[in-house]
Amino acid sequence: MSVNGVAFTTSDMYVQHPVWTAVDAYTISNLHPPSRPNSATLIHALKNSRDQGLPDIASYPVIGKFFALQCRALRVKHALELGTLGGYTSIWLASENPGLHVTTIEVNPHHRNVAQQNLEHAGVADRVDSRLGAGLDVLPRLGKEIAAGEKPRLGFAYIDADKNNNWNYLDQLIDMCEPGAVIFVDNIVAGGGLVDEAQLGDVMVSGAREVVEKVGKDGRVEGMVLQTVGEKSYDGILMVVVN
Ligand SMILES: C[S@@+](CC[C@H](N)C(=O)[O-])C[C@H]1O[C@@H](n2cnc3c(N)ncnc32)[C@H](O)[C@@H]1O
């Protein structure tokens, strides 16, 4: 890795650290123990997804609960997730917030089918509108429904799909949000790849840099990046608040 011409070793930066996993395990066992009503269905969603061949790239429990608590604190009525996978984060959002409706978008039919099974098993399918299609096709239709008053404006959104479209999604979502809404974009730091000169051509890095740089110049929003470590290694999320 090279930053401003200075070489760094990536060995300590991107490799999983057992202490990060141990800290997550300790905090979750205290703050979200297996006795919570949604714990079993969340574990079931991950197992069913794995059994049906979905990749192991769901957000991890700390992030899922963090997003669910954001929705609760902001009293969000309508949340959006771009990139459903097996529905893990949507289950966190809906099961922690009984009054919340979620719209979630997924391009892969198999992922979407498995997500639907998991949402039904979790008892939240009636509040999660799971839409099949590419984000760039589905979002404009949802935008029209919101503009027509058929759906409430968004109070929360999570962008976690094809990273080259991070900015295209955010740009559209801002106008579908209510003032004060929060939007998170995942995989922004990518083990420090965000600032690695050798990785500027990588699609995840270029998508992350584009959205960071454009948010900084966009008067509709304020943003900041939070670096994270945890059971899924060193990464970070961009948090954007709609003015
Ligand atoms: C990292 S996974 C999402 C994980 C999920 N947000 C969670 O927390 O469990 C990314 C998902 O985005 C989907 N995806 C990729 N490109 C997409 C697109 N253009 N439109 C919608 N979904 C897309 C992939 O099929 C995959 O299921």
pLDDT in tens, 82-105: 999 999 999 999 999 999 999 999
Return the SS3 of 112.
helix
Ligand 1 pocket (Cβ < 6 Å) reads 57-59, 81, 83, 85, 88-89, 105-108, 111, 134-135, 160-162
**% pLDDT > 90, the chain:** 87
Distance 56 CA to ligand 1 centre (A): 12
- Cα 44 to Cα 38, 48, 57, 160, distances in angstroms: 10, 6, 15, 21
Ligand 1: nearest atom to the Cα of 108? 25
The answer to whether residue 207 scores a pLDDT higher than 50 is yes
The answer to whether residue 13 scores a pLDDT higher than 70 is no
**In this predicted structure, what is the pLDDT of residue 213?**
98
**In this predicted structure, what is the pLDDT of residue 4?**
66
Distance 241 CA to ligand 1 centre (A): 22
Structure token digits, residue 155:
């109070």
Ligand 1: nearest atom to the Cα of 83? 12
Of 162, 172, 237, which is best to mutate to test ligand 1, by the most ligand atoms within 8 angstroms of its C-beta?
Answer: 162
Of 102, 108, 185, which is best to mutate to test ligand 1, by the most ligand atoms within 8 angstroms of its C-beta?
Answer: 108
Pick 89 or 191 by higher pLDDT.
89
Which CATH superfamily hosts domain 2-183? Vaccinia Virus protein VP39 (3.40.50.150)
**In this predicted structure, what is the pLDDT of residue 11?**
47
Pick 234 or 8 by higher pLDDT.
234
**In this predicted structure, what is the pLDDT of residue 232?**
75
**In this predicted structure, what is the pLDDT of residue 12?**
47
**Mean pLDDT over all residues of the chain?**
94
Distance 186 CA to ligand 1 centre (A): 11
**In this predicted structure, what is the pLDDT of residue 6?**
66
Burial class (CB in 10 A: 0-12, 13-18, 19+), 170: buried
Distance 113 CA to ligand 1 centre (A): 13
